[in-house]
């Protein structure tokens, strides 16, 4: 194998990433992974959309390293924030 995705013959994928705080990665490890993997997938021609939590990003760009960025509101609650954000992203 030459390092290409086996399914790439079907055309580019549409990938949504939800649950993390924000990109560019300034918050923690998972955000760094999302940024690196998302950018590499976008560079291969896949359409990557990252849904950001609005409480953590202000004036975020609409794109970053080939990924589409979308802010989604959430509640300001330690226990509910991630689950509410993830639910709103899938609507």
- Residue 7 pLDDT > 60: no
pTM of the entire structure? 0.77
pLDDT for the residue 60: 66
Residue pLDDT, tens place only, 25-80: 777 788 899 999 999 999 999 999 998 888 777 776 799 999 999 988 777 777 77
Burial class (CB in 10 A: 0-12, 13-18, 19+), 73: exposed
Angle (nearest 5°) at CA 22 between 21 and 24? 150
């Amino acid at each position: 194998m030459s390092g290409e995705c086996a399914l790439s013959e079907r055309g580019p994928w549409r990938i949504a990433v939800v649950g993390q705080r924000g990109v560019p990665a300034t918050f923690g490890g998972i955000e760094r992974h999302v940024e690196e993997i998302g950018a590499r997938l976008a560079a291969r021609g896949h359409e990557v959309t990252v849904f950001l939590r609005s409480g953590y990003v202000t004036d975020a760009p609409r794109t970053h390293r080939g990924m589409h960025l979308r802010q989604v509101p959430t509640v300001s609650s330690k226990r509910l924030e991630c689950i509410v954000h993830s639910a709103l992203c899938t609507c």
